[in-house]
Amino acid sequence: MEIKELMEKLKMPSDADLMKIAIADLNNSSVSLEDRQRALQELLVLVEPIDNANDLDKLGGLLPLIQELNNADEGIRTTSAWVLGKASQNNALVQNQILGYGALERLVNMGYSSSAAEAAKSLYAISSLIRDNEQGQELFLSENGYAMLQHILSTASTNIRLQKKVVSLLAYVADFQLSAGKSQAPFLSNHLFIKSVVDMISAPDLDLEEKALLAVRSLLQLTSADASDLQKFSGLDDTLDALRVQLDELTSQEERREYALEVEILRREVQIMFQQKFNQVLQHQMKNDK
């Protein structure tokens, strides 16, 4: 009997047990910020296995996590978004559970944060929620999520790492729209939004410029042959020409030559695509004038 009791005491708690303890701490209003953060950090590790992520809502963990997005402490909000993103990554079940609880609205609002860390984790969670999820992308649109993306791109103080996340997310969404057979996207009607993406091609970072080119390429594929749509890309031709000059200079630097040549290939592809769209517009106008 004594041996059995000793074995019970030495028995390691299961992941479910540990998750329950962490969730209980989140539900306890008297728990200190330090212990609340510790509970979130534990959940961050525990939800990585898909089975644990699937159990999170069953154990009552999703709602308190979503409630923590409204916590007055920036660190708590940031880590909560991180946990939600980790749990929903490549997981349709958890994606739909979180979307069903209405968390996307709060995550979009967090994207406006002046804290780069908080905005970055909100973008991470949003990206995890809407990836390969058409309902999530529609909800993101209805929450005016693209205005948040535009805000990040057009805010001078935004760090480059955050801007890279935005244009990468945008390129993915545009590609998803294309793969879904959609020839248009609602955010293409926003001239300022398109301009903020095009402006990233002139960013002081070659990696960001490349990611912006990828996003613009995808956006152009979604753009119709209507003149009003193409006008939203005004300035793109000049921006691409300026980038060509920059890349020519970089090819003279041996350590950057190979990468610069790769970006130049992409730049040419975007320029050709833009010219083809422009020619389509001219042909369309000529046809209408007859």
CATH of the domain at 32: 1.25.10.10
Whether residue 185 is found in the same domain as residue 265: yes
For 138-156, the pLDDT digits (tens) are 899 889 898 899 899 888 6
Q: Does 214 reside within a domain? A: yes
Whether residue 185 is found in the same domain as residue 136: no
Whether residue 208 is found in the same domain as residue 132: no
Position 1 confidence tier, pLDDT thresholds 50, 70, 90 = very low
The arithmetic mean of pLDDT across residues 103-109, rounded, is 97
Q: Does 112 reside within a domain? A: yes
For 192-208, the pLDDT digits (tens) are 888 889 999 998 899 99
Whether residue 181 is found in the same domain as residue 65: no
Structural domain count, the chain:
2
3-class secondary structure, 145: helix
Inform me whether the pLDDT recorded for 217 exceeds 80: yes
The arithmetic mean of pLDDT across residues 70-96, rounded, is 97
Q: What is the pTM of this model?
A: 0.88
DSSP state of 201: G
Site of tokens 């000793």: 6
Q: Does 165 reside within a domain? A: no
Q: Does 58 reside within a domain? A: yes
Whether residue 213 is found in the same domain as residue 271: yes
Inform me whether the pLDDT recorded for 77 exceeds 70: yes
Domain housing 5: 1-143
Whether residue 97 is found in the same domain as residue 217: no
Residue that terminates a domain, selected from 121, 143, 165: 143
Q: Does 155 reside within a domain? A: no
Q: Does 36 reside within a domain? A: yes
Average pLDDT, the chain: 89
Q: What is the pLDDT of residue 50?
A: 96
Whether residue 37 is found in the same domain as residue 121: yes
| Alpha-carbon dihedral 149, 185, 131, 141, rounded to 10 degrees | 60
Position 16 confidence tier, pLDDT thresholds 50, 70, 90 = very high
Q: Does 199 reside within a domain? A: yes
For 249-279, the pLDDT digits (tens) are 999 999 999 999 999 999 999 999 999 888 8
Q: Does 167 reside within a domain? A: no
